Structure 1
């Protein structure tokens, strides 16, 4: 609408008198972002003769050779061209954010970026579509300061973990997502090409408008909505490619394994069976390579993505709709994902000041595979299985027997991935009404109502198999989980925007309500047919063959909110917000969440004019803020209530009757976790805006963290929830961006960000520490730091072994021998046990960073994106597999060929021993590795065809490209991938690698076409 008004204004001003000229120039002016024609571009020359482009973006103008044509349009960078002998001049205009005084989306409205006083990061569509990803959250990684994005695994459809300014709770630290004003739990249902912009709100002054849901930050997504007075345009985006594992673990071959296995028997004084002896001897004598189990379960995967989008608009209507189909075949056999996403955005002007619209989307996907499961996943089995065994028994025509290591045949495990399927369907519809200038200029009203329906089903089938008496499953089984969720949200608010002289006001006042209902059902049935068409959870009426459980939940939220933005003379800025939330999750329903922030545009001051002229600074804004927000996601729907459980029986009058018991105490004082946050920042621009960035320092104090309260064991109940803990996050964020154009043909852009975040638990309410799989959480340290024994190396000499004694002269490690691991007796009690465990590092990095480099010359463009992490540790549980000394359960890394032996006594790897009497495999710093890494995330080379060629194919724009994702990674980590999420989704288990599905390299070729 702004562009239309601007064009009307120009039409009134531009003299259109036509002078006789010697020749006529024609051409077309298009938008660089999508190749669409620009209507109403001013085309003028030095003699002030002008014209406007028509509805197709075309123009004609009389000129003389040597004239200079100027092409200008609101929000676009002006271009000048000197006329030579050419008769056709086509122009591509680029967006100029400085001219637009960029508008960004904030909670329940928009603001000029120059008036912002909070901390946020903005991402545009072109940044989110460079990566060959089907999940838009993957495209955020490394692109915003203070925002950590970690892939849960490389398995298709695995999703990501996002943390804004660190982990703020031992419970839930996920941000709130809001799509076109509708709050959702995640944004996996949105295709990257459907996103117009994304704003990441980071500090309390920016998120307090969301009250009890804003403690972990807010991600606002605006999807593409079309444009008024724009011809219908069809955009097609396609890519397809191959995926491969980045690296494989170098394992022992059969002959090497046999050598170590016999040595382990010998060191343990065990005589192997004749069959075992003969198998191992044969492998050694023939230098057998054996089975490479990683090759047996892995393959070259593939990825395909097809996106079609239609957009445009008339004077009163604008629209954008389209669909995306994505399919991935994982690098582990029989893992895949198929996903279809459809969206429709439509807006219609009923009157000049009344608009109605709808945003609707539907997503359905199916995936197979359960390789994230450490205990049954085929990746784990591939690292455990001995290489002497065969994948397939040619005599029985069945999967082969695993002779020496515990576990299943990995090839069989990979085969059964196809029996593990997850399906989900999600539909969202969000309608709104917007009324502007309601009796008062600048006063508007917006009402919005949206509803989501989600249904999910996961099904795992476990067939019968028999290899040996120890390797069999004598009953087939089928498990099925079903869940459905219905959720609605409505918000209504008034906005007032006006300017009074030097005073500018932007105020919002509104209410919001939402409700969620969910149900889930779990069924397990045994003796199920192998025929997939005959597998149904309700096929058995025999209670012995049937397990059933389920549950339901519901929650509701009612809120009121207010925000005031005030600016004086564009110099002094103020933002204040207040929100009241009432929730069904607590006995004390209401919470109150205020915030305020201040800003100072220093370069608008009189005294700064000389500074501006004498330096390169074009912008300098100081801002600071405080806020109080909540985190109700850390509480369950009924955590404050007592929990009764049925399924128990009692005897009354000699008869057994069904009954129930109280399983958890009530706590009516339970409330939301709260977060008090402080932020101070500086936004700067130099070289007329070519160089820009910001610096932020923040403190985020989480209080009233929900913990389980210790109660006596004899109480016989679960621990009740209480608000007892607190956590402090603090840190610095830096971002920088530089953009330079050289002539009309070459542009260069470089951008980067780096974040330093420190995490500390400041209180556990006087309670005991919290423990994870290999972690501990206590006051004064990070959440979930690694906790274990400290290795002092290997006992290499008799003197060293005999001198390691307690005060009584008894051995501290009585079962140790030469070549075993020496553990440090931390408390000096003369024994090695759990009381000797100490701090071994944290999964939280010292800093994370991202770097973007891009250049374009004429039609060629090159984009590189790097990201990384420094200082984080990884608890590599697979180390206990790869370097196990017992040789009972596992195979081993090829590094174990350098183990300790009497002939190799300087080795730092322990001896092998069937039985491991010294417990060398206990969790210790031997398993904790440096997880720092530097990765080339994306390398993309593209070429945009000249318009002369594309028009012959009836295209307004055509670009082809080749791309590589995760091309290389520099790291000291020995595992598949240094990017490790929270094990089982628990922040107490952050950075624990239990054979995580590797993140693959991706090579794609694609095209972007506009019609």
Structure 2
């Protein structure tokens, strides 16, 4: 027995030593120093093992220590303004790193009000959003593309209605009484305020430059005091003609139930309490008031009262859908280039009969007539239609039915103008818009050192509203007549 005990102790000791050896081999500690390309130590550099939560930062002397999982671990060294490095640990216990300065983007060409310059030569504050980023953003409008993409720019969505515009502010507001909208410029044509962004198809955009300070937007004078959003549209490249087709479908949904009263019993109880506090007779006591019967609380709680209408199901859409399609054709040869595109947007709102449609046609032609004259033409036609439903369902009493026994709209009286379905079915509120933007640029090359450009711009916009409010179903007629 004693012999077996001694053997067990020996085996346990050997197993423990193997386990300790395995654990020690599985955990490695590395250390080192991080410097810049000039040899100066770099404090605050992020040092972490890729794919894990193990990490640290260099101290004031650029030194670090880090425990990694194995010899195959990849250690990442990153710092703002420096090129990120990744190093495999291997057999190294001491890893010293030299980080190079990040110079990417300094040769990038930006479009500004007076021409195009390299980013490295630009002294003003200009932010750029390029084609690669634009194509990765599924947005129906340009303000949706800009949201969260430019530092110092606020894109505020005050409404989620179909076709609604956003409020854009660059570095905040500068006036209490005047306009704070930035100036929108498309291919050198100053369109005006940010509301004109709806007339441009996001799929036609090659780049967007946002000028934030006075030095960048000075060429536009007081119109650029709130900043300038400069848009450059896509142009054809020499070679074969290209056809591009884009389509996106989006689905909306409610983040929460918009109906004010989900529990009819609670609504009736609170209504009675309000009446008592105001010194009035409670409504929900099983009596008729003004020829309308108000059930008692016991009728509602027992289920004897047959009506509990979900007005959201009556007038809300289930998962409203939006479609955005664009077809474009571009081509060019030695002297002539052209681009034509057609965009159609159909957007449904959360209410029935709450819709928005928009069609944009963009035609651009550039022709080099001779050695000294080049003409560039850009034309945009935009049409939109907005069918609006103001919506009343969120506060309609759930104890009232949709229809009465005869099949008409159930109303408390002839002056009941809050029936959501009656309003939806009978009220007409349609707005139609038409916008035409046309620009002709004449480029005269008089010599190798003298070039004159002149641009003729034309802009037309009209809005027609068709509104009809039947006197039997809406209070607006009463207000207008009063």
Work out the CA distance in 2 between the residues paired with 1:287 and 1:266: 25
| Residues 269/148 of structure 1: CA separation in 2 closer, same or farther (3 Å cut) | same
Structure 1 partner of 2:275: 265
Structural mapping, 1:523-538, within 5 Å: none
User: 2:394 corresponds to which residue?
Assistant: 383
Would the alpha carbon gap of residues 411 and 190 (structure 1) be closer, same or farther in structure 2, given more than 3 Å must change?
same
Q: State the shift of 1:416 in Å.
A: 4.5
Compute the displacement of 1:221 (Å).
0.7
Secondary structure of the residue aligned to 1:465 is coil
* Structure-to-structure mapping, 1:560-639, within 5 angstroms: none
Matched, 1:279 2:295: yes
TM-aligned CA deviation for residue 389 of structure 1: 1.6
Partner of 2:444: 435
* Residues 280 and 169 of structure 1, relative CA distance in 2, 3 Å threshold: farther
* Aligned pair partner of 1:193 in 170, 183, 203: 203
Distance 2:419 2:469 in 1: 14
Question: Which residue of 143, 153, 157 corresponds with 1:147?
Answer: 153
Match of 1:342 among 361, 364, 373: 361
Pair 99,267 (structure 1): closer, same or farther in 2 beyond 3 Å: closer
Alignment of 1:722-733 (within 5 A): none
Provide closer, same or farther for how the CA distance between residues 166 and 415 of structure 1 changes in structure 2, counting only shifts above 3 A: farther
The correspondence of residues 954-965 of structure 1 with structure 2, limited to 5 A, is none
Distance 1:100 1:145, change over 3 A: closer
The equivalent position to 1:182 in structure 2, one of 181, 189, 193, is 189
Report the Cα offset of residue 174 of structure 1. 0.5
State the shift of 1:125 in Å.
2.6
Q: Following the alignment from structure 2 to structure 1, what is the Cα–Cα distance between the partners of residues 294 and 395? A: 22
Question: Do 1:254 and 1:291's aligned partners in 2 also have CA atoms closer than 8 Å?
Answer: no
Cα distance in 2 for residues equivalent to 1:99 and 1:162: 26
* Match among 225, 248, 256 for residue 247 of structure 1: 256
Aligned residues of 1:386 and 1:402 also touching (Cα < 8 A) = no
Q: 1:394 to 1:118 in 2, by over 3 A?
A: same
Whether contact under 8 Å (1:255, 1:280) holds in the other structure is no
CA shift, 1:406, in A, is 8.2
> Match for 1:124 among 130, 136, 155?
130
d(CA) in 2 for partners of 1:328 and 1:474?
27
Post-superposition offset of 1:257 = 1.3
Q: Residue 296 of structure 1: which of 295, 311, 314 is its match?
A: 314
Match of 2:410 in 1: 400
CA separation of 1:167/1:143 partners in 2, compared to 1, >3 Å: closer, same or farther? same
Of 198, 209, 214, the residue aligned with 2:219 is 209
Structure having the higher strand fraction is 1
CA RMSD after TM alignment: 2.8
- CA distance in 2 between counterparts of 1:297 and 1:352 reads 64
Relative contact order (alpha carbons < 8 A, sep ≥ 6): 1 or 2 greater? 1
- 1:808 aligned partner: none
Higher helix share: 2
**Partner in structure 1 of residue 163 of structure 2:** 157
Answer whether contact 1:431 1:450 (CA < 8 A) is retained.
yes
Q: 1:473 to 1:193 in 2, by over 3 A?
A: closer
Establish whether residue 102 from structure 1 lines up as the match of residue 118 from structure 2: no
Shift of 1:296: 2.6
Match of residue 96 from structure 2? none
Q: Cα 1:459–1:332, aligned 2, differ >3 Å: closer, same or farther?
A: same
Between the two proteins, the alignment pairs up a number of residues equal to: 365
Any residues of structure 2 matched to 1:666-681 within 5 Å, and which? Answer: none
Task: Quickly say closer, same or farther: Cα 1:312–1:474, change in 2 above 3 A.
Answer: closer
Question: Runs of 5+ in structure 2 lacking a partner?
Answer: 1-102
Distance 1:465 1:406 in 2: 9
Alpha-carbon distance in structure 1 between the residues aligned to 2:371 and 2:141: 38
The whole-number CA distance in structure 2 between the counterparts of 1:402 and 1:423 is 35
Alpha-carbon contact 1:385-1:406 (below 8 Å) kept = no
In 2, Cα distance between the equivalents of 1:287 and 1:248? 26
- How far residue 402 of structure 1 moved from its aligned partner, in angstroms, is 5.0
Give 2:458's aligned residue: 451
Conserved? CA contact 2:106–2:118, under 8 Å: no
Shift of residue 135, structure 1, vs aligned partner: 1.6
Change (3 A) 1:475 1:201: closer
Contact 2:241-2:331 within 8 A present in 1 as well? yes
Corresponding residue of 1:309: 328
- Written as runs of structure 1 = structure 2, the 5 A alignment for 1:655-694 is none
Q: Distance in 1 between matches of 2:126 and 2:346?
A: 33
CA contact (8 A) 1:402 1:409 kept: no
| Cα deviations by residue, 1:505-564 (Å, 9 ceiling, x for unpaired) | xxxxxxxxxxxxxxxxxxx9x9xxxxxxxxxxxxxxxxx9xxxxxxxxxxxxxxxxxxxx
Query: Alpha-carbon deviation of 1:98?
Result: 5.6
1:332 counterpart SS class: coil
- Residue 450 of structure 1: how far off its partner (Å): 1.1
Cα pair distance change 1:100/1:323, threshold 3 Å: farther
Decide whether the 8 Å contact of 1:156 with 1:335 is kept in 2.
yes
* d(CA) in 2 for partners of 1:476, 1:387: 25
Is the contact between residue 147 and residue 154 of structure 2 (CA under 8 Å) also seen in structure 1?
A: yes
2:237 aligned with 1:218, yes or no? no
The answer as to whether partners of 1:207 and 1:217 remain within 8 angstroms in 2 is yes
Larger radius of gyration: 2
